[in-house]
Amino acid sequence: MREYILRRVLQLIPTLILISIVSFTIIQLPPGDYVTTYVANLAAAGEELSEEEIAALEEHYGLNQPGYIQYIKWITNFVQGDMGLSFYWDRPVNRLIGERLMLTMIMSFFTLLFVYAMAIPIGIYSAVRQYSLADYVFTFIGFIGLATPNFLLALIFMYIGIKVFDASAGGLFSTEYLDADWSVAKVWDMLKHMWLPVVIVGTAGTAGTIRVMRATTLDELGRPYVETARSKGLREGQLTMKYPVRVALNPILSTIGWRLPEIVSGTVLVALVLNLPTTGPLLWRALMSQDLYLAASMIMILSTLTLIGTLISDILLAWVDPRIRYGERGTT
Amino acid sequence: MDTLLEVRNLQTHFFMAEGVAKAVDSTTFSIRRGQVLGVVGESGCGKSVTARSIMRMVRPPGHTVDGEILYSRPDQDGQGASIDLLQLPATGTEMRAIRGGEIAMIFQEPRASLSPVHRIGDQITENILLHQEVSPSEAEEIAVDMLRQVHIPLAEQRLDAFAHQLSGGMCQRVMIAMALSCHPSLLIADEPTTALDVTTEAQILELMQGLQADLHMAIMFITHDLGVVADMADEVAVMYLGKVVEQGAAADIFRDPKHPYTIALLESLPRMDQRREWLQTIRGVVPDPYSTLSGCPFHPRCADFIEGVCDEIVPEPITLEDGREVRCLLYTEHAHQERPPVAEDASHS
């Protein structure tokens, strides 16, 4: 087991290097760079810049150097914890991302919790009572949840919030805590605001996970080992939880890693609509304005989180499934 | 010898979108205490569904719609009280105490029948703890003892093994150890050796015979292999399309089969003492389970088919002189009538 974890951690290194190159290159792929966008914006506003001024800007941002030099500079600093300067905000990327990243992670954590707390019991129930009225109801709600875009759901909730409760549903904090320092009261205020975006962002995930949980449980329910358990005289509920559900949870565990980036990228539109101080809107704006270092750093961080998530789910899976733990499948 | 289990007119049907499949259609047979009953028949003739009906483990869309399964509790004081298992709630306390405790079952796919994510020891002790008043450590001792009885080497270490670490034969031994851990009076073995290679099969059969004698339990041995039945069984029940068409002592049936289906089955076996270019086969195929045949279900394939009799009258079980039960019109007065009048026909249905 220890060897397995070590091997998986070592495998992360080349993957991360590759991702850093790819994320840096992808941002540079669209024609032009931050300066051209900037100049175009100024031109649209009726202000012309001279050749010298443009060259000076490029010099200032280091954009006149070849791409690989820019990359090496950025990655060396990145590894040391300095993510460079945001052109657009004219502030260090570290400071821009810091709190937003933390809020994003807190929200992702609660969203995951919400998704699993809702989806796993419902999925099991739907499988065990297949084709029952409740199964049809959950399936119906689930498909609606899957089919409704998150941002639309956010708009609906905001409308209801204003019309019915006369309260704004946007943001993560009440006005009085917006710029306040962190305190117990502020955390409590945040939690009070957070459930709504968590429900909105988690709905699609919940619907999808219900389907997965239902399908895998159904698959396992018909397996011979379940019949063996039944032939021992175990109570139905007991044997369902101990055997098929236990096995059906494996694919859920192994996809925790993919859930994280899904939530982060899935929140962009919702965060824009609900005015959430998470990383989503920031990444969106960085990509729009070709804000090289900010965008590359954020993509890099998100990818790293994804890889860590995958690693965690792999370790979890090896921990719960002896067939993976022992690195072999029995001969038939 | 007293009867342990008597199945009367058992009907288990599957209610599918395509129609009602009568997997078990008025099956009648009995198992005596301490004896081996071999149940033979082609695939889909209802052997496994019969077994699951006895265990009350038929899953929807299957339902046992009619019949009686009389099980006499192994009382030592004179007369054993007999209960109809079909009257008990399938998932109730009483039925669950019988299932695994008094009637145990082993299956066709030994490895798939063990949980892939639980240790062998956990799965065996679970059964013991369910049915016996013992502590977990005592249960573990019983488990080790059972593993030794089924000749598993290094029994203590095996408790920590997972199914995928054992061979198919070993898995079936574990299943047997688990099933017998509470000393059931009946073991239902649903094709326990079909998925194993012949050498392993021989070992498992030998093991089962030994344990059957030691523990003095009855076995309902389901198979499609007549050779295995000849080897194992005291009595044989031959099934065709959800009905037992012939039941009797194994020796009698192999020496002198009565039902045309049994005769055809035995003739289709390859034999060492005869040189034949072609193996005998039974003509036709098993009809699909949704069709409803009039008369004897075997009549379209029967070599002794009597027109106007076999396709019109449903045969009832008849007891012959040697105690054998046969469901065939050849052994009734109908066989001697050329063509029964239509009016008389109604009285037999």
- Parallel, antiparallel or unpaired: strands B103-106 and B62-72: unpaired
CATH code: domain of residue A238: 1.10.3720.10
Q: How far is A5 from chain B (nearest CA, A)?
A: 20
B36 touches A: beta carbon within 8 Å: no
Q: Which of the residue ranges A289-293, B250-254, B296-300 has the most confident prediction, judged by mean pLDDT?
A: B250-254
Q: What angle do CA A327, A217, B92 make, to 5 degrees?
A: 120
Chosen for mutation from A232, A235, A249, A331 (greatest number of chain B CBs closer than 10 Å) is A232
Q: Which residues of A touch B117 (CB under 8 A)?
A: 246-247, 320-323
B60 touches A: beta carbon within 8 Å: no
Across the interface, whether the CB atoms of A232 and B126 are under 8 A apart is answered: yes
Q: Find the range with the poorest average confidence among A251-265, B126-140, B213-227.
A: A251-265
Q: A328: pLDDT confidence band, cut at 50, 70 and 90?
A: very low
pLDDT top residue among A171 and A243: A243
Cβ-based neighbours of A191, under 8 Å, separated by 6 or more: none
C-alpha B88/C-alpha B107 separation (Å) is 24
**Least CB-CB distance to A231: which of B100, B115, B164?**
B100
Kindly state the average pLDDT of the residues B197-206: 89
Average pLDDT, chain B: 85
Q: How far is A143 from chain B (nearest CA, A)?
A: 25
Across the interface, whether the CB atoms of B99 and A230 are under 8 A apart is answered: yes
Structure tokens at A305: 């989180």
Q: A50: pLDDT confidence band, cut at 50, 70 and 90?
A: confident
Q: Which residues of B touch A232 (CB under 8 A)?
A: 99-100, 126-127, 130, 178
Residue A306 covered by a domain = no
Residue A159 covered by a domain = yes
Owner of token pair 């280091």: A62
Q: Which residues of B touch A247 (CB under 8 A)?
A: 115-117
Collapsed DSSP state (helix, strand, coil) of residue B334:
helix
pLDDT at B103: 92
Q: What percent of chain A has pLDDT over 90?
A: 13
Owner of token pair 């199964």: A135
Q: What angle do CA A39, A41, A46 make, to 5 degrees?
A: 90
Nearest residue of B to residue A235, measured between CA atoms? B91
Encode pLDDT of A232-266 as tens digits: 988 888 889 999 998 898 888 877 777 777 776 66
pLDDT tops 80 at residue A168: no
Across the interface, whether the CB atoms of B115 and A224 are under 8 A apart is answered: no
Helix (H) or strand (E) holding A114: helix A93-128
Spacing of C-alpha B40 from chain mean position: 8
pLDDT at B225: 87
C-alpha B49/C-alpha B237 separation (Å) is 15
Q: How far is A220 from chain B (nearest CA, A)?
A: 11
Kindly state the average pLDDT of the residues A204-213: 88
Contact indicator for A130, B60 with CB cutoff of 8 Å = no
Interface predicted TM-score (ipTM): 0.85
The 10 Å CB-count burial string (b at 16+, else e) for A227-240 is: bbbbbbbbeeeebb
Chosen for mutation from B124, B164, B171 (greatest number of chain A CBs closer than 10 Å) is B164
Q: A220: pLDDT confidence band, cut at 50, 70 and 90?
A: very high
Structure tokens at B256: 């002198």
Structure tokens at A241: 């939880």
How much helix, strand and coil, in percent to the nearest 5, is found in chain A? 75, 0, 20
Residue A57 covered by a domain = no
Chosen for mutation from A135, A225, A250, A326 (greatest number of chain B CBs closer than 10 Å) is A225
Q: State the total domains in chain A.
A: 1
A205 is in which domain, residue-wise? 99-281
pLDDT at B127: 92
C-alpha A220/C-alpha A209 separation (Å) is 16
pLDDT tops 80 at residue B349: no
Instruction: Give me the residues paired with residue B99 across strands.
Output: B103
B78 touches A: beta carbon within 8 Å: no
Residue A318 covered by a domain = no
Using CB atoms within 10 A of its CB, is residue B330 exposed (0-12), middle (13-18) or buried (19+)? buried
Q: Find the range with the poorest average confidence among A63-77, A96-110, B33-47, B324-338.
A: B324-338
Chain B, window 156-195: residues with a beta carbon less than 8 angstroms from a chain A beta carbon: 162-168, 175, 178-179
Read out DSSP for A192-203? HHHHHHHHHHHH
Residue A44 covered by a domain = no
- Parallel, antiparallel or unpaired: strands B36-40 and B235-240: parallel
B130 touches A: beta carbon within 8 Å: yes
Chosen for mutation from B117, B167, B172 (greatest number of chain A CBs closer than 10 Å) is B117
Q: At what angle do helices A256-274 and A150-164 cross, to 10 degrees?
A: 50
Residue A191 covered by a domain = yes
Residue A241 covered by a domain = yes
C-alpha A135/C-alpha A123 separation (Å) is 9
Residue A61 covered by a domain = no
Average pLDDT, chain A: 83
